[in-house]
Amino acid sequence: MKCIFCGQESSYSKSIEHIVPESFGNKTAFLRKGIVCDKCNNYFARKVEQPFLESETVRVLRQELELENKRGKIIKDYTYPRIGKEYVQQVGENTCMIYTKEDKTESDLAAAVAEYNIYCGNTDKRLLEENIFVSRLLAKMAVEYFIYRCGGEDDVCEYVGSDEIFKSIREYARYESRKIWKYNARRIYARHTAYDGDPFTAINWEADLLFLGNGEVYFVIAMYGIEYAINMGGSYIDGYKYWLENNNFRSPLYLSPQEKQKLLMDYYRKISTTTEKVMIYDFHKNGERQ
């Protein structure tokens, strides 16, 4: 077996590869041993994931969300937010929950929400800024998620690891580059949005693939309410922006199975008229959500 990123023998690799970083709330979605070799796994951990996870903005967010690192520890380095007996969570576009053990006046509650909204605005501004480590993390996740959704079979790994279609994004993820592979970022819901209406849960992340009739394929992932989209075929996102504009800026994560099937068929008709070698798998089911 060969590693999908470097092409070296990986049959005896000992590490599994988490698609979304484990310290960013992913405990279940990973690739089995050997799909990504130990050397590439360690490289991504040190050179791509760590710079993202250890940036101050993401560390503050991890503290707020109480995300455990691989050792089960939670960040407690900052005075705000979520330190002490009282904290605020935005669980919907216009809904906040305030956890407190003390009696509070309406003005006290309003002040706490106002402070939290300022904090959210400031952190979102930085989270949405174009960033090379976010770009490379998205590229890594895109390649791995494609395999994950295809079931991780050996023939899929061989295809993704060798075909020219994936070469540019594989190399961008694995080898250092000063250029940013363009991606789209926007907030589509609050970072504490409840899972299936349960106020004591939250959506950590959810992802899917968007096939467009112009032959482009986008990896789309929402992590704590921020939706990222990256083109797996090249460093341009005009097709995605055009799709958003013509679909009332809805997220492709919430398309119906019928809509997904139509997009996939339009995509297939486009690529089948070219000389590209392409495998088509069934992506009609809902995207991953955790």
pTM of the model: 0.91
Of 5, 43, 276, 38, the C-alpha closest to 144 is: 5
Taking residues 11-27, report their average pLDDT. 94
pLDDT number for residue 274: 58
State the helix-helix crossing angle for 132-149 and 164-174, rounded to 10 degrees.
140
Q: How far is the C-alpha of 196 from the C-alpha of 188, rounded, in Å? A: 16
Tallying the residues shown for the chain, one arrives at 290
- What's the pLDDT tens digit per position in 30-72? 999 999 999 999 999 999 999 999 999 999 999 999 999 888 9
Distances (CA, A) of 149 to 119, 146, 199, 215, 286: 36, 5, 29, 19, 11
pLDDT in tens, 66-108: 999 888 999 999 999 887 778 998 888 788 889 888 888 999 9
| pLDDT beyond 60 at 290 | no
- What residues are paired with 221 via a beta bridge? 207, 228
Mean pLDDT of the chain: 90
Residues 6+ away with beta carbon under 8 Å from 289: 195, 203, 205, 206
Q: Measured between alpha carbons, how far is 137 from 52 in angstroms, rounded to an integer?
A: 8
What are 20's two structure tokens?
A: 């979304």
Beta bridge mates, 57: none
